[in-house]
Each structure stands twice: as structure tokens, then as C-alpha cells.
Amino acid sequence: MMTTKMEAELFCLHCKEDTPHTVVYVGQSLKRIKCNKCGSALEIKKDKLIEHYAVDFIERVFTKPYRMTKELEGDLKKFIISLPIRIITKPYRIAKEVEDLISGRKDE
């Protein structure tokens, strides 16, 4: 699961005006909204974030065969060439996701 940062113009309750904010998602779950002007932030509790991550992760596991079949049908050569690297790196990528989720890094 990826940590995604995006910028949005939102109304800040502290500044009392529309200001630029940084919005951080972990997968499809909202993790944090921070005002870029005053620094006030709204953050989702870690236990709730982990709960949503687990649900999303299970969904990804169940849909993986379908997604791989679509890739296979789309470009067989690219799929076969990329498969060994993906198999080797997947455990690392999952561990990195969990580490980022638990440590809160990549969202500052």
C-alpha cells in the first residue's frame, strides 16, 4: 500500500480562511490533514489506520489472481520478465508499507 500526499485548498478552522493543506493517505485511508499556513493538523488514530490497512490488504490479496491474469492477458512478455523481480521484492515492499504505517514516516 502506498502513502500518497496531495495538496488541497481547504477551510482551516484555526486560520478562519481557505488555505493550502497537505492531505496524506495510506492506501485508500485518510491518515492526516495539515494546514500549510498555521501547521494545525488532524490525524487519524494509528489503531484505526491499521484496522483499515488490514481490510485493504486482505482485499488486495483476494484480488491479486484477477489482477495478475489481466496483466498476463495484456502483455505476456512484460509479465514474464517482471515476475521474478516482483516475487523477490514483494516481501520487502510489504514490510516497508507496514513500517511506514506504524512509524508514521513519509507523511511529514
Question: Within 13 Å and on the Cβ side, how many CA atoms surround 43?
Answer: 10
CA–CA gap between residue 36 and residue 99 (Å, rounded): 25
Kindly state the percentage of the chain with pLDDT values over 90: 44
Domain total of the chain: 1
CB 35 within 8 A of CB 44: no
Beta-carbon contacts of 45 under 8 Å, excluding residues fewer than 6 positions away, are none
Q: How confident is the model at residue 108 (pLDDT cuts 50, 70, 90)?
A: very low
pTM: 0.56
Is residue 19 in a domain?
Answer: yes
Is residue 107 in a domain?
Answer: no
Query: Could you tell me if residue 20 is left (phi over 0), alpha (psi between -120 and 50 degrees) or otherwise beta?
Result: beta
Q: What integer best gives the mean pLDDT of the chain?
A: 86
Range of the domain at 42: 3-102
